[in-house]
Amino acid sequence: MTTPALVSRLPAVGTTVFTQMSALAFDHGAVNLGQGFPDFDCDPKLVDHVNDAMRAGHNQYPFMTGVPALRAAIAAKLEARYGRRYDSAAEITVTAGATQGIITAILCSVHPGDEVIVIEPAYDSYLPSIQLAGGVAVPVAMRVNEQGYSVPWDQVAASVSARTRMIVINTPHNPTGSILRQADLAALAAIVDNTNILVLSDEVYEHMVFDGEPHASVATHPVLAERAFVVSSFGKTYHVTGWKVGYVAAPAALTAEFRKVHQYNVFTVNTPMQHGIAAYMADPAPYLGLAAFYQKKRDLFRAGLAGSRFTLLPSDGTYFQCVRYDAISSLSEAEFAKWLTVEAKVAAIPVSAFYGTPKESGIVRFCFAKKDETLQLALERLARL
Ligand SMILES: Cc1ncc(COP(=O)(O)O)c(C=O)c1O
């Protein structure tokens, strides 16, 4: 018997650079500042809330749209933070992490041949999701200079065609650590106003914006909010990336279509975590304090690299720090990241991996969502280079 031949839906997809670099880091005993997740635990109170929910018998399928208490808590947070009232029954859906929210938003709205503008470098799930929907990704590269990365809105506008169905944005931005500001939202609104173009706004790092700046959620902008799927993730906010619980907020008509796909690609998201997170959200202090928590780590990491031969780019949000390494090496980003892992024993991610067609800028990304002692150890090694 032979296995039937299969034509791949995603022929260009292999093992991700994150998996490769983590394996390399493990093999060489390197400090792993590659993959983006904390090496510290979440608040035990959150675990207690989940335990309580399990013992209270919240162990069967919840509503397809999410546990009502969690949807209500999300709606209250969105209104308090961004001033837009989402109806928790009709406009908020709990998802299996942001990733499932992203692919579901794309599958429900992008038809074969539709174009989706993606600003690169971009989080790695956008392109395969568009491809699975039969859509065509239209990349627009961010500009990068000493002030950091920025979105060239003139080029985004020039990339719009009669086939454009969606524009994907991400703020705060992985991998660059840049943020969008109100002027960016205004530029995007000018492009999409009075069109049928939807916006997918990946805001998983919404509570990690530094130096007192506000997070410019598309929920704050009426023109954008009326056409946007706003995606977030509790994994980032509460240091529980392995729980895979997130949400999508969108106007009722968009949410109705979103749920038609959600109903069949995941149906529901695990019940006790939803109850636990809902109870934990009653106190806003953990997410309100997150920016200060990560800003301290950013400052520690940047101070440690200040005397090194790396050139630091701005890190205005997220838990990522991008650096140029041209004073140390002329290797390609991928080769340099490998060299750094094997020789200096610190793993990083090449930013070139975040482009559909790899683009060399001589920049790698470090993740500083690590214990201070992990960061210190990495800094000792990096400062020697
Ligand atoms: C920009 C961005 N979007 C989405 C995700 C995925 O989030 P989740 O783990 O909740 O699916 C990540 C995770 O790294 C991310 O960096």
| Tens of pLDDT, residues 251-291 | 999 999 999 999 999 999 999 999 999 999 999 999 999 99
Tokens, residue 312: 């630091």
91 lines ligand 1 (CB under 6 A): no
The Å distance, Cα 194 to ligand 1 centre, comes to 30
Say if ligand 1 is within 6 A of residue 171 CB.
no
The C-alpha atoms of residue 298 and residue 274 are separated, in whole angstroms, by 30
Q: Is the CB of 123 under 6 A from ligand 1?
A: yes
DSSP H or E segment with residue 249? strand 246-249
- Number of Cα atoms under 13 Å in the Cβ half of residue 251: 12
Evaluate whether 169 touches 192 at the Cβ level (below 8 Å): no
Each residue of 23-39: pLDDT tens digit?
999 999 999 999 899 99
Q: Is the pLDDT of residue 358 over 90?
A: no
Rounded distance, CA 380 to CA 375, Å?
9
Q: Where are the alpha helices (DSSP H) in 193-330?
A: 222-225, 234-237, 252-265, 271-280, 285-288, 290-305
Cα first-last separation, the chain: 56
Token digits of residue 93:
């859906």
CA distance 202 to 129: 14
Which atom of ligand 1 is closest in space to residue 173's alpha carbon?
Answer: 1
* pLDDT value of position 202: 99
Domain ranges of the chain: 17-42+288-382, 45-286
Atom 13 of ligand 1 has which residue's CA nearest to it? 36
Task: Tell me the CA–centroid distance for residue 94 and ligand 1, in Å.
Answer: 15
Domain 17-42+288-382 in CATH 3.90.1150.10? The answer is: yes
Closest atom, ligand 1, to C-alpha of 102: 4
* Atom in ligand 1 nearest the alpha carbon of residue 244: 10
pLDDT tens digits along 286-341? 999 999 999 999 999 999 999 899 999 999 999 999 999 999 999 999 999 999 99
What confidence tens digit (pLDDT) does each residue in 117-152 have?
999 999 999 999 999 999 999 999 999 998 999 999
User: Of all helices (H) and strands (E), which one includes residue 133?
Assistant: none
Output the CA 204–ligand 1 centroid distance in Å. Answer: 6
The Cα 327–Cα 308 span in angstroms is 10
Judged against a pLDDT cut of 90, whether residue 17 lies above it is answered with no
- Cα of 5 from ligand 1 centre, angstroms: 33
CA distances for 383 relative to 122, 194, 307, 325, 365, angstroms: 29, 52, 7, 12, 16
Structure tokens at 6: 């299969």
Pick the CATH number of 45-286 from 3.10.50.30, 3.40.640.10, 3.40.50.720, 3.40.50.300: 3.40.640.10
